[in-house]
Amino acid sequence: MTEGNFVDYIKLYACSGNGGKGSVHLHREKYITKGGPDGGDGGRGGHIILKGNQNLWTLHHLKFKKHLKAGHGAHGSKSRSTGADGSDVFIEVPLGTVVKDTDSGKILFEITDNGQEIILCQGGMGGRGNWHFKSSTNQTPRYAQPGIPGEEKKVIIELKILADVGLVGFPNAGKSTLLSVITAAKPKIADYEFTTLKPNLGIVEYRDYQSFVVADIPGIIEGAAEGKGLGHYFLRHIERNSILLFLIPADASDIKKQYNILLDELRRYNPEMLDKERMVAISKSDLLDAELEAELKTELDKELPVKYLFISSVAQTGMMPLKDLLWKQLNR
């Protein structure tokens, strides 16, 4: 999937259908000149329904279809005939989709299961026909109910990626390179910061035909929790990951300090992120000789409070131990 096709934020206008009017009709036929009321009910207006689809990974299909309207219910007719219901409109969305009210920012609901259906805008109820209103004192009512109007909503639809492992790190830490090595994904890779502007997903093939999903999240900078850099546009994707894999390059001036800055940005954005499993991968370890690596290992054993390992995506060293460790953590 190209970067331009990854859409994770859409503003949408949705309007459900109006209910049909109830019928005002008095039964008339040959030899029956004064039949009773037999006006039918109006049909229900169409709903706007969101449905989870596990085969979708982006909101790109909604990019050019931001106004959605369901069908109106048909009016009732004679012989107590109920009008047809308006046609429903189904919007298929990826799992992990969050729907918010545009004005208040309040979360209305989330779609997390395949096939899950939630009504975004309820269709208006059809009006009742005049036969409902006959009584001993009013045997020929000449009125019926109008249909109820449909709902109108302006909503924001956001995608929070559902992945097993999220790669977290500063720009140019080697996240995209790692993703390209351990999965079949082909993210954009270059020697400058913010090469990745949209999250990339890849499926890691593990032993015995097992697999798990890794998400490459655009790089964090200090102040991301306040919206600096790509800010909230990528931090929300980390919320759905089971494990956070922090990538810190071996040539960083202070590995523990970088880890703490990254952790602090996550905490300030959403403190619940600190409850997730965390691991650290020291990338670009091909830059270290054996002596430097041993020295760094002694230092990190004292300083880092989480599991860590040395990897090199370019030299493809440490890849299998990394997969083993991730799989073990995912299936604890």
> Mean per-residue pLDDT for 153-181?
83
Contacts of range 237-240, beta carbons closer than 8 Å, 24 or more positions apart = 237/8, 237/159, 237/160, 237/161, 237/166, 237/199, 238/166, 238/168, 238/266, 238/273, 239/160, 239/270, 239/272, 239/273, 240/96, 240/160, 240/161, 240/162, 240/163, 240/166
Q: Is the pLDDT of residue 189 over 50?
A: no
Kindly state the helix (H) or strand (E) to which residue 178 belongs, with its residue range: helix 175-182
> Mean per-residue pLDDT for 191-209?
65
Mean residue pLDDT across the chain: 84
pLDDT on residue 287: 84
Q: Where does the pLDDT of residue 47 fall: very low under 50, low under 70, confident under 90, or very high at 90 and above?
A: very high
Q: Where does the pLDDT of residue 81 fall: very low under 50, low under 70, confident under 90, or very high at 90 and above?
A: very high
Residues 6 or more apart in contact with residue 233 via CB below 8 angstroms: 8, 9, 218
pTM over the 0.75 mark: no
Rounded Cα distance between 89 and 98, Å, is 18
At residue 245, what is the residue type? Answer: L
Strand partners, 99: 109, 157
Higher pLDDT, 112 or 235: 112
Place of tokens 């599991």: 307
Q: Which letter does DSSP use for residue 60 in this model?
A: G
pLDDT on residue 190: 43
Q: Where does the pLDDT of residue 221 fall: very low under 50, low under 70, confident under 90, or very high at 90 and above?
A: low
Q: What domains can you pick out in the chain, each with its CATH number? A: 1-159 (2.70.210.12), 165-330 (3.40.50.300)
At residue 274, what is the residue type? Answer: L
Q: Where does the pLDDT of residue 191 fall: very low under 50, low under 70, confident under 90, or very high at 90 and above?
A: very low
pLDDT on residue 44: 96
